[in-house]
Structure 1
């Protein structure tokens, strides 16, 4: 009988899932999802291979559960940060910085793009999780347009363009390079959507 982690079956299940998520994240960061087996993940997590099947039938199911957990946690934290800012342009600044500071192993993993190595159904699930984050950006841009803070524009297209700018970027870890990189990207995005606050004030405007 496998050892129970925690004081109850519910706690055991949660701890086991957390251990598997951590192992998957670590191994994907080293090798890429396609080069990792469920047995590798179980060994890394210190969990018997057969016990893993009590939680996930295959590594694709584990991946989807991991991404759902990571995305939900991130969206809640981002939503809370955005709620502290009233100004839509200020919210966009927060959004850009939070996206760049986020370390997502399933975006930075070596090897092929995840959508190329999972089933079509799984790829659709991956896209749905990205949609949760995109919905927040869409709301920010819509508010900014309605407030007259940025010009009217095709919101759906701009959401894709902003995410293309932010996704998969390797932000420097050392300072001051890290802060400079984030500030430059923030300025680029604000200028791209036409936020007046992003443009430097000329001497003639303050004379």
Structure 2
């Protein structure tokens, strides 16, 4: 039986999962997903080669759990940031800032690596989490349209274009924010 290194079995499991997620992030910064093995993840996490299998049956399960964990952390932060903000324009500013700041806090840039590397079921499980993030934006846009602050002719196109604007992480946040709001029809001072 594995040794428990925390106050409870659940706490121990959470600690081990976090170590595995941190290890996966380190390895993904060094090599592609298909070049990473379960043994490498275990070693980087400080686990025995077979101990990782007590928590995850295979690499796909690690990746899906990792993506779920990262998305949950992202959404928790975004929702907390939006909680006390009033008005669609200010809420969109928070969304833009949070999204632009996410690259330094989250390992969410796995998209291109995952296509073809994971099973359809795993991709769908990860997609379910992406839909949660998209719903926050969808709600922000709907609130802005309802208040008359935003002009959105085609929701799907607007969401795609907005996220494309949030992809380059090297541009000044204020410039991206102004551009996004201008694109949504918000008059600029």
- TM-score, normalised with respect to structure 2: 0.91
Q: Distance in 1 between matches of 2:16 and 2:165?
A: 36
Question: What CA deviation, in whole Å up to 9, does each residue of 1:110-154 have, x standing for no partner?
Answer: xx5322321111111222111111101110110101101122422
Aligned to 2:64: 64
1:3 aligns to 2:3 (yes or no): yes
- TM-score, normalised with respect to structure 1: 0.83
Aligned to 1:204: none
1:22 aligns to 2:13 (yes or no): no
Aligned to 2:154: 154
Aligned to 2:186: 195
Q: Distance in 2 between matches of 1:117 and 1:70?
A: 19
Aligned 1:103-142 pairs, distance under 5 A: 103=103, 104-107=106-109, 112-142=112-142
Alignment check: 8 A CA contact 1:5 1:16 kept: no
**Pairwise CA distance, 1:4:** 2.2
Aligned to 1:79: 79
Q: Distance in 2 between matches of 1:48 and 1:108?
A: 26
Q: Please identify the structure whose Cα radius of gyration is greater.
A: 1
Structure 2: runs of 5+ lacking an equivalent: none
Q: Distance in 1 between matches of 2:32 and 2:16?
A: 22
1:145 aligns to 2:136 (yes or no): no
Aligned to 1:91: 91
Q: Distance in 2 between matches of 1:115 and 1:188?
A: 31
Question: What CA deviation, in whole Å up to 9, does each residue of 1:46-83 have, x standing for no partner?
Answer: 00121111110111101111111111121122112112
Structure 1: runs of 5+ lacking an equivalent: 173-179, 202-207
- 1:181 maps to which of 153, 159, 172: 172
Q: Distance in 2 between matches of 1:88 and 1:55?
A: 42
Aligned residue for 2:62, secondary structure, equals helix
Question: Would you say how many aligned residue pairs link Structure 1 and Structure 2?
Answer: 187
Q: Which runs of 4+ in 1 moved over 2 A?
A: 1-4, 103-106
